[in-house]
Amino acid sequence: MTDRSSCGSVDARGLGGPWLGASWMPRWLPEGPHQASAPTPEPRADRQPSVQLDVPDVPNGLDRLFHATMGRLTAGPSPAALWLAFADWSIHLGQSPGKCQQLVEKDFRKAVRFGNYAVRLASDPACPSCIEPLSQDDRFRDPLWRETPFNLIHQGFLLHQQWWHCGTTGVGGVSRHHEQLVSFMVRQGLDMLSPSNFIAMNPEVLATTVREGGLNLLHGGANAWVDWERLSGGKPPAGTEAFRPGETVAVTRGEVVMRNRLIELIQYAPTTGRVHPEPILIVPAWIMKFYILDLSPRNSLVRHLVDAGYSVFMISWHNPTGQDRDLALNDYLHLGILDALAAVRTIVPDARVNALGYCLGGTLLAIAAAYLAREERNELHSITLLAVQTDFADAGELSLFIDESQVDYLEDLMWEQGYLGTRQMSGAFQLLRSNDLIWSRIVRHYLLGRRTPMTDLMAWNADTTRMPYRMHSEYLRRLFLSNDLFEGRYEVDGRPVALRDIHAPLFVVAAERDHVAPWRSVFKINLMNDTDITFLLTTGGHNAGILSEPGRAGRSFRMTRRPAGTRYVDPDSWSAAAPPREGSWWAAWVDWLDELSGAPVEPPAVGAPAKGYASLGPAPGRYVLER
């Protein structure tokens, strides 16, 4: 396969090397290729063009360099965005005497409430708590927290936390985004100061220290040293070595049948004598390695599909470097989905394709489906979207890190290094669940001295990828900030595409506790009126909800079908009316595929060597091993 000329690799740092951007160049020099995404606007007809002096535009280059340097220090977040949010909140709070009076009254009532609890506790150690932690807060579940003085310590903290939530929300005049950001940052500070994080205030740590004679702290120190050494050396966490793709994970048999500069296409070997005639093409997100859908044999969605009698193809994305900085969303569409689709239809001729997209890969698949519909190419038999947003107006907690200031800051950081690094992305995701992913881990690993056993999903989560500068900038601006796709302004090859043009049947899966793609945001796909949509809501989060293999305990889902042309039902009404079903949603999805599929036929050959798709090596291929 040949690469498209628009995707040629260039040194986007221009004549001046990494420290000088194109803004430092004299205006009579040609602009560097990294400026292609920001063309010079046409002059207005009612304005005379100003005189252009042949002097370098120094401040812009200095700004970018400064932002990039600060971005490395802050791991990505923009100080200006945080300052603006707190300024908005504090100014409006200062102009709201009624709100301030309400907070003073709340503070007094909570003090009285806490005092009454302390008095009752003196006479009845088993008296009920004055406040209970939230359902997702497991920090104070241990019975030792009910003993004095630890009950007073954690109850006072929870009352204090509740007061701060009241103080950072409901202030008139504060923008919704700033209110969410202030509340989030205050919550991060409170989580850091939680009594569970300190040896003297945590009864579990104290009891363990006494019982083990301090060996837990010694083990915790050793754990901290190992983790620091691995982090500073750019190594993955301890234990991930046991989960290497092609050896213990991503072991479903298959062959790489196509490779270009952006993807490898894997064709998996059938495990049944006959297969359905319509192949399945899986498009994972390039923010993750593909093998989350092919982990261990027991929880591999790929293995489940081939055992169900389907021909399965998988895209494996290249992990970008600084040389790939100019890869655009349009390149991901053409070199990714469309090239893979052409290969699948060549290997399995005369068959339409069941396409599946996960997370960001599903958003790109929706763009591809709308593009194919615009071009009147009827190549998709069905579309399955797993935890996929198409409307980014309410993108959940991830939008806390996305506003004009933050995107501008990230762009300068990516401009300097050519990509968004793994630490910037993983840091943002960890902050969204800081209790689970940061502080509880510190307590468990370093204070209690206990290592959490590494699992295949944890090892995969540590196998991170990068995002090229131009693509990620376009993604943040065109999808998150402008919401161009859902509002019909997103252009492919110079013309807009519309989601409502998609007529293939849709199977859409969302997860109840998904903090990346909130299920109510995913549900907005139902606003498309011209296609048949089956919507399924499963238990779990963004990853664990999708990995819901048959036989896994505690799994359930809700599912309904909405034929084309029927009336819209809001998400809360839908949830109340859809009865829960026990078990894995995988079986329900395969049943849906079976209803759409033709009678089984002989499996297709591996690749099509005569047509340029010869076997290039066994799965999982080369790209998944890139670091």
| Catalytic residue IDs | 359
Provide the 10 A C-beta neighbour count for residue 448.
Answer: 20
End-to-end CA gap in the chain? 24
Structure tokens at 347: 């290997």
CA 443 to CA 310: how far, in whole Å?
46
SS (HEC) of 341-362: HHHHHHHCCCCCEEEEEECHHH
Is the Cα dihedral 69, 71, 75, 79 positive or negative? positive
Provide the 10 A C-beta neighbour count for residue 66.
Answer: 11
Tell me the DSSP string of 167-226: HHSS-TT--HHHHHHHHHHHHHHHHHT-GGGSGGG-HHHHHHHHHHTTHHHHHHHHHHHH
**Phi/psi at 40 (nearest 5 deg)?**
-70, 125
CA 479 to CA 30: how far, in whole Å?
30
CA 380 to CA 374: how far, in whole Å?
13
Q: What does each C-alpha distance from 333 to 140, 341, 365, 419, 588 come to in angstroms?
A: 47, 11, 8, 18, 29
List the one residue out of 284, 279, 281, 283 whose CA is nearest residue 309. 279
Structure tokens at 173: 């005049």
Structure tokens at 207: 């009891």
Distance of CA 370 to the CA centre of its chain: 23
Is the Cα dihedral 398, 405, 488, 492 positive or negative? negative
CA 13 to CA 326: how far, in whole Å?
11
CA 248 to CA 270: how far, in whole Å?
20
